[in-house]
Structures are given as structure tokens and as C-alpha cells.
Amino acid sequence: MKLYLLRALVFCAVLLPISASAGGAQISGGADGRYINTGGDTNAFLLEGAFLNARKVFSDEQGDRVIAVGQIDFDDNFKTIRPYQTYLQYKGPLGKWNVRAGHYILPFGLLSAYDSERLLLRTLEPLSLGIKLDTGVELLGFSGDWDYAISVSQGVGRNRLTDVDDNKLVTGRLGWQGEDISIGVSALIGDVLLEKDSIIREETGLSSLYEKRLGVDITKYSGPLVLRGEVVFGKDNDKTVGGGLLKADYALTPKLELNFKYAYWQREGGRNFIGAGFSYELTKGLFLRIADEYEFGKENVNVAAAQTYFEFAKQF
Amino acid sequence: MLLRLRHILNLRSSFSLLILAGAVFWAATGYADVCVWRDPERTMQKIFPQARDYETIERKISGEKAGVIENRLGKPLDPGEREDWIFYKIRGNKGEPLGYVLTDAEKGEYGAIEIVMGITPEGKVAGVYIQRARERDKEFKSRDFLDQFIGKTKENPLHIGKDIKAEGSLPAEQVSFAARKMLIMYDELRKEK
């Protein structure tokens, strides 16, 4: 699809929730500026991303029925304009079942409830899945303490809206939620078309993969400490891959949080990542984050980063 | 026309910057809480077990109304609370109103304490739940503490040591304050248009 037509489509999708009905919509947005030092000698200042999100709920006489969400991201110093989550969701009674159609985050592992896109210490999906957002149809909901989600999508990733290869990707998660803990089991199978900037594409030299994945994720809240863990293993074509992640966030005060991460991933040799940092809320909605992440094993690379992140939301 | 569209959308940087500048200006004119109510339906069903569905209701708050609420509350509202208020109307199997669910976030020692409260159509507290909190203290999350709010109305002071028993920790104080705030908000805003 022509780039300018794709952009027009994205703008229309984002504006849909606002224009479809007067009132009751929420607009939110943010900006993510970073200084990154790689290996001690390469420095970069960039606007990593800015985004605008619109959300609108449509109700009938029984209750909320349709939720429209549109988000556009301006990434890499505005060089990339692309859709983020942009979908229509039909909500069944009390949300016990929902059908979502559009461009959404895949229901796999920690991703289903924890989006680390705008954090310095990220989760495992760039290495473990190579796909995060995709266009398709998803059935999701809950029953008692259990929740479920199953998605059939195009496997073409976040930068494409059309199915360029006619292959499909099936993703699903079954979760259990206790008072301070949630546990999930996930699976993914199908063809994934890798993005140009994909880490997996860089490692393997392949532009697409037939992926099979199984994952287990856990999130535990214990006072000021939040622990998140994930174990993922499977196959890329016929090659066995696997690894895991452990993240810990510890609140020292309402504004200051310490962050730690360890991740391991085995594909073309083992890669280890160990990171630490902090997040400080300067004023409402404005955060300063500093983190250092060291990779060792297959390669030895240190990345230090400082980030200012601003977010807002407004009803109208 | 396509050429014109192409020209417009290819003015990437200037157009994008314009959008961002507009968004920042807009953000500066008002601020709603960037707060996601996680698992709303689960909590609704805990408070109203007969709930079949819910409707999101949004009320705009005028400056004058904000003043009235602050006067009754005895404290200023947070910046994100002065412009609008969202709550949820809960319906039963035949569409009949069972009550309302309100949410609030108050500052604890280690971050926000997110509180969910149900109110009957008569204005009585139907139940209080802590959705998320990172406090060391555990008393404020216990059913013994939270169930004391059931049946209370806007006429009750909801003060620790008066009509609510607790050791007086900051989280318990904040939950009591939030319950009082939500009852007053409900009273002032349920019929506003």
C-alpha cells in the first residue's frame, strides 16, 4: 500500500473514536525523549516516540457495547509514523466475552497486561517473538478468576496493515488472577514476517519465520515490590529457541521507583542482559528515567540511557 | 486529489510537530488521570453479584460545582478531578439499575492506592475494594476494615476513630477519605448533565 494512503488510513482510524459521536471520548498522549550511550563511545539524542491516543465508548440501553481505540505513533525523531493499537471492540454482557478487530497487541505472556514500549528496561518480546502488534481478530474475556484471549492475525507486524503474504498467526493466553498475583500460559504458532529493524532478522538474516512458542508468565505484587517473570521456548523454523525474563520494580517513595532486569535468550548463541535503573516522577505525568543495561555472552555491549517521558489524558 | 493528499501527508516533520504542539497545548489546558481501571468487570461482579452489564457515565464539573464539592470535602480536589468524573451504572438481568461503581486514586507512602466503591441507588455504600496498592501496611486491605464502609452514606463522617475503626495508618486514612469523596461526588454529580 502506498505510504501516504497508509498514513491517511491511520489518521482516519485515530480520528474515528473522536468524530463518531459527540462527547465521552478520551484523548491521551505522550512524548519520549532519550539520550543513549552505546559502548561508551556512541551517543545519540532522539525523540524516541510521541503518540496520540483516542478512546470512545458507545453504549446501548443495556450498557457499554462498542469500544473504539485509535493510536498513532511518531517514532525515531518523527521519521516513522505508524499505527499503534487501533481497533474496534464489541463488548458482550459485563465484558465476559469481547470481540476485537483491528491492530492490537498480541495476547502472549507479559505483553497481554504489561506494555514496556516506553520504558528503558524492556520485556523479552523483541527477542523472543519478533512481533508485538498485528492486525487480526481477537476473542477475549473472563470467567471468575480466569481470563482468556485468542487471536488470529496476519503475522505481518506493527508496520503493515495489509496481509502481504496470506499467512496467518494464532496466539492465545489463558490466565488466572488471584488477589496479588497473576499467572498465564501462552502459545503462538504461525508465520511471522519480520520488520526491517527486527533483532531476530538482524541475527538470522531471515525476513520471515515459522514460529512456535509456549510461554509461562507471572506477575506478583508484594507491597512496594512488583515482580514479573516470563519463560518462553519454542522453534524458529526447525531451530530450538528459548529464554526467560525477570523484572523487579521497587517503590521507595510515591515518586521514586527502582528497576531491575535480567533476561536470557538462546538462538544463535546465548545472550544475557542485566539492567538497573530508576524512575522519578518530576511532576504529574512527567518522568525522568535513567538505566544501564549490559549485554554479555554472545556479545558484550553496555547501553546507558536517560529518558524524559511525558503523558497526559483529557476527557471531552 | 491523491496528489494533494500525498503532498499533505508527506510534510511529515512539520505536520507531526504541529500535532504534537497542539497536543501539548491541549494537555496544558486540563488534565485527567492517566489511570486504567484494571479488570473493571471482575470488581463490579464482586460488589454487585447480580450485575449483568454496566454503562460508563461521564459528568463534566463546572468551576462552581468543583467549589461546592471541595467545600463539603474540606480539601481541594486533585488536578485530574476538577474537570470531569467518570462512574459506572450497573444493571441487572432485566436492565434494572442495581447501583453505581466509582473509582478513586489517593496518594499512599509508596504510590497510588486505587480504590473501587459500589453505591446503591439509595446512596448507601455497597462495597469497597482495593484494586492496586504498593503499601507495606496490610490492614487497609483487610475485609474487616473495608466492610465497615458498607451501609454508610453521605451523612456519615467516615473518620478513623469515629465511625471507622483502624490503627490510623496513612493508607487507612486515605481509603476513608476516598470513600467520603466518592459519596460526595456521587451526591453532587449523579443528576448533572
The partner residue sitting opposite A78, judged by closest CB among B2, B13, B84, is B13
Across all residues in chain B, what is the average pLDDT?
84
Q: Which of B4, B5, B31, B54 to mutate to test the interface with A (most CBs of A within 10 A)?
A: B54
A94 touches chain B (CB under 8 A): yes
Q: How confident is the model at residue A161 (pLDDT cuts 50, 70, 90)?
A: confident
Q: Residues A255-268: pLDDT tens digits?
A: 999 999 999 999 98
Residue A294 is predicted with a pLDDT of 98
The contacts of residue A225 (CB under 8 Å, 6+ apart) are A248, A249, A250, A251, B134
B86 touches chain A (CB under 8 A): yes
Dihedral angle over CA of A199, A200, A204, A208, nearest 10: -130
Nine-digit cell string for A85 = 493499537
Closest CA to A54 of A14, A107, A82: A14
pTM over 0.90: no
The per-residue pLDDT for range B86-139, each reduced to its tens digit, is: 999 999 998 899 999 999 999 999 999 999 999 999 999 999 999 999 999 999
Q: How far apart are CA B150 and CA B126, in angstroms?
A: 5
What pLDDT score was predicted for residue A22? 41
* A73 min Cα distance to partner chain B (Å): 10
pLDDT tens across A92-107, in order?
A: 999 999 999 999 999 9
Measure Cα distances from A131 to A171, A188, A236, A309, B167 in Å.
11, 11, 13, 24, 50
What ipTM was reported for this prediction? 0.81
Tell me whether residues B95 and A4 touch, CB distance under 8 A.
Answer: no
- Residues of chain A neighbouring B109 (CB-CB closer than 8 A): 253-254
> What percentage of chain B carries pLDDT values higher than 90?
65
Please say if the pLDDT value at position B1 is more than 80.
Answer: no
Q: Which three cell numbers stand for residue A149?
A: 484471549
pLDDT of residue A1: 46
Q: Which among B38, B58, B111 has the least Cβ separation from residue A24?
A: B58
Average model confidence (pLDDT) for chain A? 91
Size of interface A-B (CB pairs under 8 A): 127
pLDDT digits (tens, 9 = 90+) for B161-177: 999 999 879 999 999 99
Distance CA B43, CA A179 (A): 11
pLDDT at B155: 94
Which residues in B lie closer than 8 A to residue A69 (C-beta atoms)? none
Mutate to test the interface with A, among B13, B16, B140 (most CBs of A within 10 A): B16
- Fill in the DSSP letter of residue B31: -
For residue A248, which phi and psi values (nearest 5 degrees)?
-130, 130
Rounded CA-CA distance A228/A246 in Å is: 6
Read off the pLDDT band of B10 (50, 70, 90). very low
How far apart, in whole angstroms, are the C-alpha atoms of residue A44 and residue A168? Answer: 37
Bigger pLDDT: B149 or A22? B149
